[in-house]
Chain A
Amino acid sequence: MEFDRELIVRAQSGDRSAHEAIVNQFSAMVFRLISRFFRTREDVEDIAQDVFLKLFARIGQVRPDENFPGWLARVTVNTCYDELRKTRRRKEAMETYGPEMVGEQTVAPREPDSLGKARLALQRLDPKLRIPLVLKEVEEMSVEEIAKTMGLTQTNVKVRLFRARKKLQSMLGGTEEHSK
């Protein structure tokens, strides 16, 4: 993605118009990445705002000559990871401490279709496995790009991808054909 490096220098000196220009230029990319992990517009927007707040809080650390879009993608993925972990912990707490609420359901839940089943299985995956899988399969990133974005080694990414696919297959009953 092409961008004006001068924008970073201006933003570092506290220029508000440069901040706004950065948001306008990169918000679509940030929204797209967050949409891979969150399903409601409100969640996506809240997390995108957090990403830009983090970015402007650390704008002094950004070197204008480095790969800024890659750096921003890393901040975005890390923010998503933190949020997914929080959501997972909340869900686990609900399942542990709120069984009565589950028992009070009067309407039987609708049996999810195959797409819904796959979505549910993906949501249940540990964020550590889910993020590289989504970046690979949906964002179509290379292993090298995923490693850079997540701050992992390429071997580690490959291991996580393998485990994620295996786990997803077992969740879906082992009948689904997984993509290569």
Chain B
Amino acid sequence: MNLKDFFNAERKRVFEPDAFFAQRVIARVNERLDAARVQDLGFWDIIPSSTRPVLAIALMLILCFVAAEMFVPQMPQSGMVESFLAPEQSPAESFLYNDTDVPSQDVLQQLIAPEEQ
């Protein structure tokens, strides 16, 4: 047998589609379209309709809380006048921490020396 006979034999070997082939293809096309549609869905489409109002209220409350935290100023523990009148430091502490008018070592020595004499 030569190649020509082989090719002739190959020509006769053909599969035919069955009666339901078109339906199977359309079913796969629909399946693919449904999958594509699921990918295109937004946030609210994925959540079941029964859960949506609850979730919406929860989200609203969270947003209100965040807004209140951001925009409403916080009341300080004591007012300006009160904090001025009632300082946290005692006068002795204040002298220790805040007195910057400390004389130099030489001046101190001069001041201390007459007392020792």
Report A's interface with B, CB cutoff 8 A. Answer: 16, 19-20, 23-24, 27-28, 31-32, 34-36, 39, 41, 44-45, 48-49, 52-53, 56-57, 114-115, 118-119, 122, 134, 137-138, 168, 172, 176-179
Task: With A19-B29, A31-B14, A48-B17 as known contacts, state yes or no: A179 contacts B4, CB within 8 Å.
Answer: yes
Q: Is the interface of A mostly helix, strand, loop or mixed?
A: helix
In B2-20, the 8 Å CB interface with A consists of: 2-7, 9-11, 13-17
List A contacts of B13 (CB < 8 A).
35, 39
**Shortest beta-carbon distance, A115 to chain B, in Å?**
6
Q: Is the CB of A36 within 8 A of B10?
A: yes
- CB within 8 Å: A-B pair count: 81
Tell me the count of chain B residues lying within 8 A, CB to CB, of chain A: 25
Q: Is the interface of B mostly helix, strand, loop or mixed?
A: helix
List A contacts of B10 (CB < 8 A).
36, 134, 137-138
List B contacts of A39 (CB < 8 A).
13
Task: With A24-B22, A49-B24, A138-B11 as known contacts, state yes or no: A179 contacts B3, CB within 8 Å.
Answer: yes
**Shortest beta-carbon distance, A46 to chain B, in Å?**
11
Q: Is the CB of B3 within 8 A of A176?
A: yes
A-B contact pairs, 11 of them (CB 8 A): A19-B26, A20-B22, A27-B25, A28-B16, A31-B16, A44-B15, A45-B17, A49-B28, A57-B32, A115-B9, A176-B3
Partner of A178, one of B3, B16, B22, B23: B3
Partner of B7, one of A41, A138, A172: A138
* CA distance in complex: A172, B23 (Å): 43
